[in-house]
Structure 1
Amino acid sequence: MPEGHSVHRITRQFIRNYVGHEVRLSSPQGRFAAGAARLDGRTMIDAKAVGKQMFLEFDNELWLRVHLGMYGAWDFAGDILMDATIASANGRMGQTNQRGTVVENTGVDEAIEHGAILDNAGENSLHSIGAPRRTRVRMAESERETDELMAFPPEPVGQVRARLLTDTVCADLRGPTACEVLEPAQIEAIIAKLGPDPILDDGPAAEDRFTTVVRKKPTPIGLLLMDQTVVSGIGNVYRAEMLFRARLNPHTPGRLLTDDAVRALWTDWAHLLRIGVATGQMMTMDGLEGDDYVKAMASRADRHWVYKREGLPCRVCGTHITLEEMGARKLYWCPSCQA
């Protein structure tokens, strides 16, 4: 499932390429035909992400809500303009600015000072997109460039739930959990139920809200971090990595954690999320430099502490990493470091 950093990146591309433009909406698949008709020909005036959900506002006071879920993805095609916050000085987007989490407490400026390193599994963000070269790009958990376009707009490929088309850019949505047209009050109600998102607010009020909720709950912290009403955007990868980085047992009830421990989780989430938005990769290992850094950015197996490392020795203590199920999702952790 795309985690919070991916959805924020996708939203920034809508801001760059769609906000202020008239959009033609259709549903090649047919399942969203009625909703598309309500927005067709309207101008997009805003786009925002909260955790794993994206909201696109149009000039008729209606919103398009999209939740990619487990299988959703956006395909962008056309003369794609780059968002400056995820573009490097060499004019390439996405899998650029890839310094990652190099040392503890690194800021984003420090984290994005280096250029592109291609991820060998496609987990990286958009890469090698030189505007205004016409291309087709997929954005989701695995973001990758496909082929260059010979004609625009391209023919729909597969089951396209919704197509958003301007004169220069086309965005095709496939396989979302949610794709619906809502009124402002409905959007406000949905957002009100979501936990804080550090990209939107990393101030003391958001930290206090997160801390207060966690410390009241008897629920294991490994479940609380995945609860989008507690905190927005954390998925399976970030959960496992954050708990290891904090040396917390996933089964510890939230109410048994110290105030400092919970606040440290919030701070670390804000830190990792900013790195993810800047680089498009869930880089969770600190202190990597030179060849070790390049290797980690090119391979997921070399940039995570515990995720997908079941049966392998812990990078710190040598104990085999454990895999179990928690909340119907796979949980990876070290039974020694996180005892």
Structure 2
Amino acid sequence: MTQTGIPFVFMRGGTSRGPYFNRADLPEDRDTLAEILLAAVGSGHPLNIDGIGGGAAVTTKVAMLSPSEDDWADIDYFFAQVSVTDRLVDFKPTCGNILSGVGPAAIEMGLITPQGDETEIRIRAVNTGAKVVARVQTPGAALTYEGDAAIAGVPGTAAPIALNFMGVVGSSTGAFLPTGNLRDEIDGIEVTCMDVAMPMVIARAGDFGLTGHESVAELDADKGFFERMEAVRVKAGELMGMGDVSKSVTPKFGLFAPARDGGTIAARYFMPWNTHPSMAVTGAQCLASCALTPGTIADGMLDRPTESPANVVIEHASGTIEVLVDFNKDNGFSLNSAGLLRTARKLADGRVYVPSHIWEGA
């Protein structure tokens, strides 16, 4: 055999998609694992022509599932971001959109048995330690993808998947404000560095000469902005205690602007070397927390909700995303949990093949 076949379920999770593997079907060795994922996705070509990636950062993501080693959780979710062209695999971050498909994929793999009309699945995000409760629709104890829930960036409707995120503050850096400051100035740009679900560097769009309402295509064509943004992001990574982040997708970068269409605030999210077509679930939690925190760069851009829980509506490039934030203000701002509604759909299953010289299988 010149190729090794690995079982997988191909899922759309939220506004991302990729292969979902049973961790037991993959090697423990991280270097070999990375080579397998690069081959499976087809990293190294802008179209991922020799793999199942889709030529965009939101379609080169990988989920690996296993029964949880944590007493609290049912499923361990290990995430990998595979680059489109650079043949890099980043195991540091997590992805909330791909997490949307973890519950259904775990059922598809036989790792979870549906219970009643709605199955609650407790998920531990291995990369960050975050704990998430997913509620998946299983009428008559049977998984369904049909429903009336719609999310911006995905056509049509599907069964709703409710996600409640806990333990996400400081998940990567150990601190809500990794630099210790509500604001820092880097290269003349004022930013807030925050770690909630995803470590982020957040700035005002106007400080880059932008409106914050540009399309994805307009932003991606603005190479001058990306050069300035990347310089700020890399320096912020150092200040956040994350070391040299020049080859890491974290921290992510975000821009704020006043809302135009009735939302709480407008934002653009970067992955970080191109613009997200909609909004990341993890990024939305960090952006919502920043918007709610007095003293951040969001000051003056919104009528800040004062009662908890607050429904923060973030306007993004494809529409809006709503984050229900449970917080308290006893000593400044502190986050208890964040809830979002997502959808997912199984697209295919079977085996994905990689050259046997990379791995000959278990």
- TM-score normalized by the length of structure 2: 0.25
Q: When you count helix as a share of all residues, which structure comes out higher?
A: 1
